[in-house]
Amino acid sequence: MTHQESGYFTEATSAEVVIARNARAQDERLKAVMDVITRKLHEAVKEIEPTEEEWFKAIMFLTNTGHMCNEWRQEFILLSDVLGVSMLVDAINNRKPSGASESTVLGPFHVADAPELPMGADICLDAKGEPMRVRGRILDTAGNPIASAKIDVWQANDEGFYDVQQKGIQPDFNLRGVFRSNPDGSYWFRGVKPKFYPIPDDGPVGKLLGALGRHPYRPAHLHYIVEAEGYDRLVTHIFDPDDPYITSDAVFGVKESLLAKFVPVSDPAEVATAGFDGPFLDVAFDFVLSRKG
């Protein structure tokens, strides 16, 4: 057998010839993946019919995307995000039973070692922004409370920046914390109203968005990872439905079930009962976890 088992490469047979060449691959999954990618990529190139200059531009775009990556910046993940692929992979891998809370992208600003805080703690360490109370319950799909669930939250500040983007300006661990749900599944903490913000757009992905006439903004949100023994880990956000970018998230992370009302509270009696000094925003949101398996 020669290595030209399926004939010479022609425009018409290009994908089949390349796929046939992989026949002796050791890893079946790799072969299956590369077969699909080869077929779809050749199909795209045949439809687009790029000039050689255009193809080189594409190669340089990917080269620059790689050059932009470092310990803190993963430009390929941003590319996957703005192409909707991150959300698609998330959807495929987090199909939930009915009633369970939906997931969304993790994003690049999670910090693994945020401090565990007592219930009701204020995660805003610099007193900047509009005070907010966030509360709710962690439940199973039958509506039973889940006690001692780990609730890891993080959010941007009132100017749309995470602490890790403003080292030396914001205190370390500003607007992030880990809480454990009460025996009745409840949790609450204080923060400040987050603002919409642009995904990092000073690299090739930002340039691409600009060229496509797209903005780089994500609507205001709070990130959550909720974990409990025997349940699937939930990586999600809650979103401000009144945000100007709520229907045009740059990374397609918004789901209708994740919209949470930010309700202004100014009645002095209610303010005093909640333990605030003045008006605040009240955000109530329950999370429903699905059982493992």
Sites of contact with Fe ion (CB under 5 A): 107
Q: Does 243 bind ligand BEZ (CB under 6 A)?
A: no
Site residues for ligand BEZ, 76-105, by CB under 6 A, read: 78, 81, 105
Task: State the nearest-atom distance from the C-beta of 123 to ligand BEZ, in Å.
Answer: 16
Among 134, 199, 205, 238, binds ligand BEZ (CB under 6 A): 199
Are 208 and 147 a contacting pair, CB within 8 Å?
A: no
Distance CA 206, CA 210 (A): 6
108 makes contact with ligand BEZ (CB under 6 A): yes
We find the least distance from the C-beta atom of residue 177 to ligand BEZ, in angstroms, to be 16
Nearer to ligand BEZ, 195 or 218 (CB): 218
Q: How far is the CB of 278 from Fe ion (least distance, A)?
A: 27
All residues at 6 or more sequence positions from 211 whose CB lies less than 8 Å from its CB, including other chains:
none
Name the strand (E) or helix (H) holding 273.
Answer: helix 268-274
DSSP characters for 66-115? HHT--SS--HHHHHHHHTTHHHHHHHHH----TTSPPP----TT--TTPP
Q: Which residues are CB-contacts of 44 (< 8 A; sequence separation ≥ 6)?
A: none
Quick one: tokens of 62? 């990917």
Instruction: Tell me which of Fe ion, ligand BEZ, none is bound by residue 138, counting a contact when its beta carbon lies within the kind-specific cut-off of 5 to 8 angstroms.
Output: none
151 belongs to the binding site for ligand BEZ (CB under 6 A): no
Interface positions with ligand BEZ (CB under 6 A): 78, 81, 105, 107-109, 199, 218, 251
